[in-house]
Each structure stands twice: as C-alpha cells, then as structure tokens.
Amino acid sequence: MRFALLLMLSLMALATTAQVYTWKDAQGRTHFGDRPPDGVKADAVRIRSYEQPSAPQDWSHVIRGKGGAAASQGVTMYSTDWCGVCRRARSYFAANRIAYTDIDVEKSDAGRREFEALGGKGVPLIVAGGKVMRGFSPEGFEGMRKPAR
C-alpha cells in the first residue's frame, strides 16, 4: 500500500513539472510540444494559469477612468466560452443568484479593449466593486465583494 502511494505521489510530481516548448520548422511554421525534435532550437514557453485563488486588487482608479462595462457597480466577468475556470465562475454566480455581465473577449472588440486596459492576460478577469480578480475562487470572490474597513 505504501509503495503504491509513493509511486502515485512520484508520478504526480512529474506531471506538475511538465514543460512546453515552441520551435519553428524549415517552412517557418510554429510548433508547440512537450519535447522538441532533436537538433532544433526550442524555447521554453511560460504558461500563465489562473487556476490558483488570487487576491483581488483595487483597480477602482483605472476602472473609473476607463468607463465601459466594468465601471458599473455590478459584477463584470471577462471570459471565453472554452475556459473551464470561467464555467466554474458562471456556475457559482448562477447557484448564488449573483447578477453579472459576461463579456467574451474573443467575440467583442470593445470588451477585448476593456480587458486589456485592465491588464488582462488571462481569463477569467472579474471586476466587482472597483476590485479586479484574475482567476476565480468562491472565497476570493466573496472577499472582494466585502466593503473595505
């Protein structure tokens, strides 16, 4: 039993240290993979993930200055339709009857500009009460909705 547990933990550690590389072939096409071909110059890709809970940041000065959907007092989420974390946020909002505006940054040019103005580099980006949260966690979201003391 202990051996199986040790083996499983070892395999999990290997999975979390995976690296993605990018390289160009002779025709100039860009490729991505976990192992570049032998003899090819490849660069490691830094992948940003918002899977971890994040601390909300106060962006009220930026939001007030930009106008747009995020300037309202409500909740705005900049998202995509393929994002799993965005789906979790939508489910949480629906289950808790939280009204929000969902802006797909791939389908709305104006939404994409607002997203970028807020420093968006990954989805979801959630704005509520002058604070911005990158990623989503129920605890982080509820924390950002509480008034400052």
Which strands form 43-45's sheet, in the order they lie side by side?
A: 30-33, 20-24, 43-45
pLDDT: is 30 or 64 the higher one?
A: 30
Element (H, E) at 114: helix 109-117
- For residue 68, pLDDT over 60 is answered with no
Please give the model's pTM, rounded to 2 decimal places: 0.55
Q: Under CATH, which architecture does the 57-145 domain have?
A: 3-Layer(aba) Sandwich (3.40)
Instruction: Report the chain's mean pLDDT, rounded to a whole number.
Output: 77
Among all chains, which residue has been given the structure tokens 């995976």? 18
- For residue 133, pLDDT over 60 is answered with yes
Q: Where are the domains of the chain?
A: 2-45, 57-145
3-state secondary structure of 93: helix
Residue-wise pLDDT tens digits, 22-41:
888 888 887 777 778 888 88
